[in-house]
Amino acid sequence: MPEDSEQSVILIVEDDASIREIVGRVLQEEGYRVETATNGLKGLEQFYKVLPDLIILDVKMPEMDGWETLRRIREISNCPVIMLTVFGSTNDIIQGLELGADDYLVKPFGVQELIARVGTVLRRAQAVS
């Protein structure tokens, strides 16, 4: 188990149940505690409830999209955010990073790459705090 997974809570905000389940299972196997939400509004509720160490955030979701969710999170927190989305144009990636995402991963993605990015972003955040 990686050092950075010790007690780290990851919130997955993703409307696709299969992706939510796969990502959640893989991260739990790595030793992370995983919480989930099915859209941006529920993601914000979960954010306030569990105060995660990292958020994995989709863009295209019902109720509130990932762009607006990220904007609202950045108004109150520096919690690390990894965007995980099908929107992979250069403009989309720039938009995500300019809105405050710490990393951006385009679907389809490799789970090993996601695990590596999660570890890197968490280590960077822990070094700053």
The C-alpha angle with vertex 33 and arms to 31 and 37, in degrees rounded to 5, equals 140
Domains of the chain: 3-123 (3.40.50.2300)
Coil/strand/helix, residue 55 = strand
Cα–Cα dist 85/75, whole Å: 22
Spatial contact of 15 and 58, defined as CB atoms under 8 Å apart: yes
* Matching residue, tokens 């695990």: 115
* pLDDT at position 7 over 90: no
DSSP state, residue 107: S
DSSP state of 59: S
pLDDT number for residue 127: 86
Instruction: Kindly report, residue by residue over 43-95, the tens digit of the pLDDT.
Output: 999 999 999 999 999 999 999 999 999 999 999 999 999 999 999 999 999 99
pTM over 0.85? The answer is yes
